[in-house]
Structure 1
């Protein structure tokens, strides 16, 4: 006897299938029938999980952005200097914007989300900025002001805007990642944060 999958597992499978369909055809050309077919279920079964195309898209966007943030948090938590941690976290966002993360449809889907669900994109940016701000504040002893007139959050917000700018510049992915590393190094140097001293150093 085949065991029925938990509803949450089934939803994730549907959202994974929907990501491919939306990425290939865009939001306007995608139908519930197409999503159901890609997920290997009937259209009525799809409606048991989602009320319509926008509901699927928003759920998919939330799931995708949460995964990007989870990856960024893991990258930021790795051992290393502030520059290493900042670069690792911001590189996740850059790869996402460039469309080289996961199945390859994320850049297009992020663009769609900015039009259809701007509230999701704003929430994503705010949460990502909070992650970067926590890194900056922890490395500088937790001050609210990193520089005259600039808080850790404002600095983080500026860095995220800069990542978008870098992603739109001419160059190969390797060149753009090198620019991001240079931006991070300049930021850390400007903050005057010391590099960690290796264990055992007198």
Structure 2
């Protein structure tokens, strides 16, 4: 299993990944060379090859870094003291909507996003961990409110999956981040209503 959370990157690798991300956003994946990445990271190409075998390896490492950061942001947001809907909206905004902002704003964003099939294993692990964090927040809120979800014909897993499935559909349909936030807020409101006593 791929470990998404708590990845340990040394400062040199982190510098390479941050530099490579800027180069990919500026020139696209296809036009970027290992020389471009080495120059951006202020290192020699042989030194770069000691860290990564090719630019696909770098692309996957960038994705792993971004996904890991997003999970940490979501976990922190969901552990806050605000009402459930606010915490969940902040988690989704920081972990999902804001994470893709730079890619969507790039003229090469579509190319980079089209490559996400090469990240299916990482995205699958990320989604599973994100669902666990959302489910834990839903469980905690239901317990805090004294709500028996089973009596309502619901479950923690069902609500967490419904939220993530809705967000997946929203990303396909809506590209504007502000509209994504509105749609996410409406979906969260429905889940929040299910977590209230009747």
TM-score normalized by the length of structure 2: 0.79
- Note the C-alpha offset of 1:72: 1.4
Could you report, residue by residue, the CA deviation over 1:137-161 in whole angstroms, capped at 9, with x for unpaired residues?
1111299x83466532332122122
Distance in structure 1 (CA, Å) of the matches to 2:102 and 2:32: 22
RMSD over aligned Cα, in angstroms? 3.0
**Within 5 A, what are the aligned runs for 1:21-100?**
21-92=23-94, 93-97=96-100, 99=101
CA–CA distance in 2 between the matches of 1:109 and 1:62? 18
For 1:171 and 1:45, the matched residues in 2 are separated by: 39
Q: Which moved more, 1:53-62 or 1:25-34?
A: 25-34
Aligned partner (choices 9, 16, 19) of residue 18 of structure 2: 16
Contact 2:97–2:177 (Cα < 8 Å) also in 1: no
**The one of 138, 162, 167 aligned to 2:166:** 162
| Distance (whole Å) between structure 1 residues aligned to residue 175 and residue 120 of structure 2 | 28
Query: Do the aligned partners of 1:22 and 1:109 also contact (CA within 8 Å) in 2?
Result: no
Match of 2:193 among 185, 189, 195: 189
User: Could you tell which deviates more after superposition, 8-17 or 160-169?
Assistant: 160-169
Residue segments in structure 2 that go unaligned for 5+ positions in a row? 1-8
Q: Is the 8 A contact 2:141 2:195 kept in 1?
A: no
Q: Tell me how many residue pairs correspond in the alignment.
A: 185
**Residue 189 (structure 1) shift:** 0.4
Task: Flag structure 1 segments of 5+ consecutive residues without an equivalent.
Answer: 1-6, 195-202
TM-score with structure 1 length normalisation?
0.77
Q: Are the counterparts in 2 of residues 94 and 163 from structure 1 also a CA contact under 8 Å?
A: no
Rg bigger for which structure?
1
- Cα distance in 1 for partners of 2:84, 2:65 equals 28
Deviation, 1:115, is: 1.8
Which deviates more from structure 2 when the two are superposed, residues 74-83 or residues 158-167? 158-167
The 2-side partners of 1:107 and 1:152 are apart by 34
For 1:51 and 1:172, the matched residues in 2 are separated by 36
Q: Are residues 193 and 160 of structure 1, via their aligned partners in 2, closer, same or farther at CA, if it must alter by over 3 Å?
A: farther
CA spacing shift, 1:140–1:32, aligned 2, 3 Å = same
1:30 alignment partner, SS class: coil
- Verify the 8 A CA contact 1:113 1:121 in the aligned structure 2: no
